[in-house]
Homo-oligomer: A and B are copies of this chain.
Amino acid sequence: MVRIADVARMANVSTATVSRVISNTGTVKKETAEKVLEAIKKLNYQPNMLARQLRRSETETILVVVPDITNTFFSAVLRGIESVAIENGYQVLLGDARNNVDTETSYLTILGQKKADGLILLTARTDQKILEELSHDYPVVLACEYYEGTQLPTVSIDNVSSARKATEYLISLKHKRIGHISGPLNVVVGRDRCKGFHQAMAKHGLSVDPSLVQEGEFSFESGFNLMMKFLSLEEPPTAIFAGNDEMAMGAVKAAKSKGVRVPEDLSVVGFDDIKFASIFEPALTTIAQPTFDMGQKAMHLLLKIINDEELEKNQFILSDKLIVRNSCKELTIDG
């Protein structure tokens, strides 16, 4: 292992001078710097980052915890985070919570251990208190998911209004018997999208049949199963708002398996606009979240916190968009 002392010896200078050359302080004479650079090259020297990080007490690494890395929605957000991180000399440590709260929480210790300078959470299922305390001591930013009534820096869309928008789209297509396959209600975005659904229904004077609201778990399978349940109802819904695209696809699949055509017999709208939403048949009408932008914004925020800069505000709501494709159709009397 080549150390800074080896370089210093070869270049006939002190380690301090070598260090100055490396960190480009501009206080080293040109010829000296050249000697040092040459020695570095000759020895193929690379600074030991652990030593530097210990001394400077900074790692230039940030931790990102995602609920489920196999969901392309999150990997798209990750892309946004990574782009800004790399641009600013930061590396990304990934924690995949695998949809498990305890796994999620266990990643938080990494901050205390000084293995990362900051944290971006794409999932907010850990106890709110714990996280708020953590954020007193370390830079933390939430993205996509969030807590209610918190001062934690957050970037997300307004899930309630998006869900309302999605539901109202179905209402505008004359649907009245609209079902909702929600995400898990112990995660905010599941709750908020459910809330938006109810708001839209109420706003248009439509009653919600409790049996038409079922709690899924953001997976294809849960969407499939819950749709099956709906279909076995005496009076099945004519439209479904699903809490995310995977569940929407599951619902469509279930319908098809029962000979129910989408969109002719059943309209479905999803949420997230994942990569596959447009490939799916029928192409999914869904709410597109600005994944890349959210990632970028979250990382920019985190950088500000790390650098002790003032935040203009704590909650950033980015705008989503209803993408109309082919999974919905206006309701006609005979169906």
A: residues with CB less than 8 A from B are 46-51, 53-54, 57, 59, 61, 69-70, 72, 75-76, 78-79, 82, 91-96, 98, 109-110, 112-115, 220, 249, 253, 275-276, 279-281
Whether the Cβ atoms of B76 and A70 lie closer than 8 Å is yes
Whether the Cβ atoms of A110 and B91 lie closer than 8 Å is yes
A78 to chain B, nearest CB (A): 6
A33 to chain B, nearest CB (A): 21
Q: A69-B79, A75-B75 are in contact. Are A92 and B91 (CB under 8 A)?
A: no
Q: What is the total number of copies of this protein in its complex?
A: 2
Q: A91-B110, A93-B91, A93-B94 are in contact. Are A50 and B46 (CB under 8 A)?
A: no
Complex CA–CA separation, A96 to B98 (angstroms): 19
* Residues of B with C-beta under 8 A to A276: 276, 279
Q: A46-B112, A49-B115, A51-B54 are in contact. Are A75 and B70 (CB under 8 A)?
A: yes
Give A107's nearest chain B residue, CB to CB.
Answer: B91
Q: Which of B50, B75, B95 is within 8 Å of A54, CB to CB?
A: B50
29 contacts between A and B (CB under 8 A): A46-B113, A47-B113, A48-B113, A48-B114, A49-B113, A49-B114, A50-B50, A50-B114, A50-B115, A61-B115, A69-B69, A69-B75, A69-B78, A70-B72, A70-B76, A70-B79, A70-B275, A75-B75, A82-B98, A91-B93, A91-B95, A91-B110, A91-B115, A92-B96, A93-B93, A220-B279, A253-B279, A276-B276, A279-B280
Complex CA–CA separation, A94 to B53 (angstroms): 19
Whether the Cβ atoms of B113 and A96 lie closer than 8 Å is no
A294 to chain B, nearest CB (A): 15
Q: Which of B53, B98, B220 is within 8 Å of A50, CB to CB?
A: B53
A157 to chain B, nearest CB (A): 20
Give A46's nearest chain B residue, CB to CB.
Answer: B112
* Residues of B with C-beta under 8 A to A110: 91
Complex CA–CA separation, A212 to B40 (angstroms): 52
- List of 5 A-B pairs having minimum Cβ-Cβ separation, nearest first: A94-B94, A49-B113, A46-B112, A50-B54, A70-B75
Add 17 more A-B contacts to A48-B114, A49-B113, A72-B72 (CB < 8 A): A48-B113, A49-B114, A50-B114, A50-B115, A51-B54, A61-B93, A61-B115, A69-B69, A70-B72, A70-B75, A70-B76, A70-B275, A75-B75, A78-B96, A79-B96, A79-B98, A280-B280
* Residues of B with C-beta under 8 A to A112: 46
* Residues of B with C-beta under 8 A to A48: 54, 113-114
Q: Name which of A54, A61, A98, A220 has the most chain B CB atoms within 10 A of its CB.
A: A54
Complex CA–CA separation, A166 to B110 (angstroms): 45
Whether the Cβ atoms of B279 and A109 lie closer than 8 Å is no
A90 to chain B, nearest CB (A): 12
Complex CA–CA separation, A220 to B79 (angstroms): 19
Complex CA–CA separation, A280 to B283 (angstroms): 11
Complex CA–CA separation, A198 to B59 (angstroms): 50
A209 to chain B, nearest CB (A): 28
Give A220's nearest chain B residue, CB to CB.
Answer: B279
A91 to chain B, nearest CB (A): 7
